A = this chain, B = another copy of it.
Amino acid sequence: MKGVLPMTEEEVKLIIIQSLKDGGRKNFQEIMSELQPYDMAYLYTDLPNKHKNKFLLYLTIEQLTDLIPELNQEDQLEALHKLGVEKSTKILDLMENDKLASLLSSLDPEIVEDLISDMKIEESEIVHILMNYTPETAGRIMNNRFVWISKHYTVREAVDKLKAFAELAEYLNYLYVIDDEKKLVGVISYKDLLLGEMQDKIDDIMYSRVVKVHVNTDQEEVAKIIRRYDFVSIPVVEEDNTLVGIITVDDILDVLVQEANEDIEKLSASGKAIDFNTKSYIAAFRRLPWLILLLFIGLISGSIIDGFSATIEQVIALSFFMPMIAGMTGNTGTQSLAVVVRGVITHDLDFKQAMKLIFRELWVGIIIGLICGVLISIIAYFWQGNITLGFVVGSSLLITLIIGTLTGTVIPLILYKLNIDPAIASGPLITTINDILSLLIYFGIATAFITQLS
């Protein structure tokens, strides 16, 4: 095996193509047995089309089971199609059921039934159950490739069972212990087994205070718990404490990236377009609904200015500061919004915490408002040589910055508490609301002082 070590990816690719041409399955397998699933998939995707069939043919069922989930969906279906019904069914049977469910969840129901019709009944039933859980819950991302042991086992029996299932189980760091009714009653680490005596009863050495999640727990909550406890896996139970699956840390890595992307989608109102490979018209139509809504809201700003056009016509200099005030208010709002959207990832948010945050942000708004307000008063005075204008611009900025900060804090907090999809509180929306408020305040103050201004 050691011959493979120093090869570059390019060399590996050339040898693989050569062995596919020569029919050298032994050479092929020698390299393949050293590769990680991701590398296999990378190699396969990169291969000229004419070699792909033979590549698949040369792999064992186990290797195919590793390879398929690493491909993108289109390639997955193509590969399964190339492999034929018999082999595909074997692979689907062997595939981790969370990966299978995520492959199937985005397919046409007819294709799904077609694919799983030949699977072992117990496997296909499990997949059906999994797909029925709400997306983004523990039930949807759990898998059933874990090893459970009875609390009546001895350490020796546990180790034997572990050996028997070693090929199956993904993350072996903990074994979950169940009672006679399949209820989760304990957990024992691999380490504890290693250090225990062979005749020890599991019941006596296990931890009975198990950290677990329910099938309906939100995946973001699961991620929070796994991060908190530094677990490699966490058990998932039904309402009645029956152990039904585990969630492994590799899935949590994907959850964290997905949730971060969703937060950024909220802040930027880009919809599910955060993907380099999305086609342009699809990306455009995902972003459009928001943009059109914001366009109409933007027109409200227009009609506010329309309403104040007498004021502007008298003092055209007022319009010079308009974009700056609206922009600054929008910026502070976005900053506060970011704090809230990300903060709820790591903090449990109760009323006390929320009020503390609102007051913190209020103070931030006051400090920022005072500094920027004084600064702009001085600039406006020297630029336009009008002390009243300086006062109007400065006091407007003070007030709008405080209000902007509060809008950016309070609106997402309220939505979060009401369990309304916080996507509604997207960055551009907060920006636009702040635009409108800032224009009303600015021109309101200006109109009040219009006689001194002109």
Contact = CB atoms under 8 A, between A and B. Distances in A.
Given A172-B191, A298-B324, A306-B320, 9 more contacts: A227-B250, A249-B250, A268-B427, A269-B335, A270-B335, A270-B338, A270-B339, A298-B328, A323-B435
Interface of A: 1-2, 4-5, 34-38, 162-163, 166-167, 171-173, 185, 190-191, 194-195, 206-211, 223, 226-232, 249-250, 252-254, 256-257, 260-261, 263-265, 267-270, 273-276, 278-281, 283-285, 287-288, 290-292, 294-295, 298-299, 301-303, 305-306, 309, 312-313, 316-317, 319-324, 326-328, 330-332, 334-339, 341-343, 345-347, 353, 356-357, 359-361, 363-364, 367-368, 371-372, 375-376, 379, 427-428, 431-432, 435, 439
A222 B313 CA distance: 59
B275 A343 contact: yes
Nearest to A271: B335
A428 to B, nearest CB: 5
Contacts of A261: 342
A276 B324 contact: no
Contacts of A5: 185, 208-210
One complex includes copies of this chain to the number of: 2
B368 A291 contact: yes
Which of A37, A264, A268, A326: most chain B Cβ within 10 A? A268
A98 to B, nearest CB: 12
A337 B270 CA distance: 10
Contacts of A427: 267-268, 334, 427
B229 A254 contact: no
15 contacts: A36-B229, A163-B195, A172-B191, A226-B253, A256-B260, A257-B260, A264-B267, A268-B337, A276-B356, A281-B363, A283-B339, A291-B372, A299-B379, A305-B323, A334-B428
Contacts of A331: 269, 290-291, 294, 428, 431
A261 to B, nearest CB: 5
Contact of A322 (B34, B185, B274, B322): B322
B195 A339 contact: no
A38 B319 contact: no
Given A323-B435, A356-B276, A379-B299, A335 B36 contact: no
B284 A367 contact: yes
A116 to B, nearest CB: 24
A335 B190 contact: no
A282 to B, nearest CB: 9
A281 B360 CA distance: 9
